[in-house]
Structure 1
Amino acid sequence: MPMRVLTVGKKRSQGTQLLVEEYKEKLGHYCDVEDTLIKSNPKLTSDVKVQIEAEDASMMQQLKAEDFVVVLDENGKDVMSEQIADLIGDAGNTGSSRLTFCIGGPYGLGIQVRERADATIRLSSLVLNHQVALILLMEQLYR
């Protein structure tokens, strides 16, 4: 099943981008992996609520009805590597055409994306920067 990772943020550090590309190459032997960066704060507002809503709308435009959507959130279900593997397998049994992971920006994800989620997980009890969460997710997908 093809996978896609949607991340809200600004331009990534060179180190982060190198690691993401390395994991995409490794994962590419098993499935198609797409990595999409959604611009943080597209309306350049200082109002956090407006920023979250704009990022939420941008992410929703990227999601298709047939996607199995997994949201990464600090309040999500704790998962271990084996459970992520099970989640990937379960997503393949739903008839969904693509597995999409969503990582929010500095203020998290908006309500529309959260409600659209088929599963909500957290990779750590720590609050992670979106670039760290992306690298950790890519490593777990490869694992």
Structure 2
Amino acid sequence: MGTAVHLCGCFNSTTSNSHQLQPFKTRTKCNYAAQSVKALPIRILSVGKKRSRGLQLLVDDYIEKIKYYCSVEDVQIRPNPRNARDHRAQVDDEDTAVMNIIRSDDWVVMLDERGQDIGSEQMAELVGGASNTGASRLSFCIGGPYGHGRKIRERANISIKLSSLVLNHQIALLVLMEQLYRSWTILRGQKYHH
């Protein structure tokens, strides 16, 4: 992945091993809408405590919807309770756990409150254009209560935020799942069904 790629005019190579998102131009339509798009498998890595039954039912419902378009995997990573008093050590341990799951050929999207603010059309472009990066999988990373560690921040190919509001990691997961489903309906030119 050492060469520059072009994705809707939004990606370029700023380092030798990662593709960074440049500011999206305001658009009302996704460049990939209703075109044939190679569906990369999606893996969602989220750090956090056990989910409520209600949240898990909603996540499972979205997984079933997304599976119609591509392979999707939901991976939960437990926060490190041994270092609960030492936030830095906890983040470092969670960081290591996430990095142990990410493969070298993953295209990594970090969800972060300081990431680039994108809309549904831009999310669809991100999903639709990820296959042009040379990656074999699209991995979305949701940090725990203290955010992401240094390793994942350096490894991420792109950093986005889902809202200008700071979202709890469980709410962020649900918003991400809904936006991934919405992205595929945009890419396929289909009507969005709740």
Q: Cα distance, 1:57 vs. partner?
A: 0.3
1:39 to 63, 73, 78: 78
Matches of 1:74 and 1:43, distance apart in 2: 26
1:18 paired to 2:57: yes
Residue in 2 that maps onto 1:130: 169
Residue in 1 that maps onto 2:158: 119
Normalising by structure 2, report the TM-score. 0.72
Of structures 1 and 2, the one with the larger relative CO (CA 8 A, separation 6+) is 1
Residue in 1 that maps onto 2:189: none
Matches of 2:130 and 2:148, distance apart in 1: 21
Equivalences for residues 55-134 of structure 1 within 5 A: 55-134=94-173
Q: Cα distance, 1:90 vs. partner?
A: 2.0
4+ residue segments displaced more than 2 Å: 42-45
Q: Which has the higher strand share?
A: 1
Residues 83 and 89 in structure 2, CA contact (< 8 A), matched pair in contact too: no
Q: Which has the higher helix share?
A: 1
1:50 paired to 2:89: yes
CA RMSD of aligned residues (A): 0.8
Partner SS for 1:74: strand
Residues 26 and 142 in structure 1, CA contact (< 8 A), matched pair in contact too: yes
Matches of 1:138 and 1:114, distance apart in 2: 22
Q: Cα distance, 1:41 vs. partner?
A: 1.7
Over the matched positions of the two proteins, sequence identity in percent amounts to: 58
- Name stretches of at least 5 consecutive residues in structure 1 with no aligned partner: none
Aligned residue pair count: 143
1:141 to 174, 177, 180: 180
Partner SS for 1:65: coil
- Name stretches of at least 5 consecutive residues in structure 2 with no aligned partner: 1-39, 183-194
Structure 1 or 2, whichever has the larger Rg, is 2
